[in-house]
Amino acid sequence: MGFLIKSAFWLSLVLLLIPFDAGDGTQKADTVGPVTALLAARDAASDIGNICARKPDVCVVGQEALHTIGVRARAGAKLAYEMLDKHFDGSDAPLTTGSIASAGKPAE
C-alpha cells in the first residue's frame, strides 16, 4: 500500500513538471507551478511526520496495523512456500529449462 501511495505522489509531481498546452494558446492563471507544488508536498510530508506528537493514538493504531499486516504477509508467504514445496515434491532433481542441453542428450 505504501508503494502505491509513494508511486502516486511521485507520478503527480512528474505530471506537474511536464508542460501542458491547453490547445488554444492560453494558460489558466490558477494552475499550480512545479515549485509551488514541491513546496506544498514538502510541508505536507513534514506535517505527516509530526502527527505522532499531536495524536499519539494514531501512531499506536498504525503500528498495530503494520504488525498485523506483517503477520498476515508472513503467514501467506509460509502457505505459498508449503504449496510450492508440495507441488515440486521437494526433490533434488536438477531443473531443466531447455536453454542448455542436458548431459544425456547431444545439442541440436
Q: For residues 43 and 75, state if they share a domain.
A: no
Specify the residue for cell string 526433490.
Answer: 91
What domain range includes position 45? 1-16+33-49
Mean pLDDT of the chain: 77
Q: Is the dihedral of CA 34, 32, 36, 4 positive or negative?
A: negative
Q: Specify if 23 maps to a domain.
A: no
Regarding whether 83 and 62 lie in a shared domain, the answer is yes
When pLDDT is averaged across residues 64-72 and rounded to a whole number, the result is: 91
Kindly state whether residue 6 falls inside one of the protein's structural domains. Answer: yes
Kindly state whether residues 60 and 74 are assigned to the same domain.
yes
Q: What is the mean pLDDT of residues 86-91?
A: 70
Say yes or no: 43 and 70 in one domain. no
Number of domains making up the chain: 2
Q: Within a domain: residue 45?
A: yes
Mean pLDDT in residue range 11-33: 65
Secondary structure (DSSP) of the chain:
-HHHHHHHHHHHHHHHHS----SSS---TTPPPHHHHHHHHHHHHHHHHTHHHH-HHHHHHHHHHHHHHHHHHHHHHHHHHHHHHHHTTT--PPP--SSS--TTS---
What confidence score (pLDDT) does residue 64 get? 92
Residues 81, 66 share a domain: yes
| 99: in domain | no
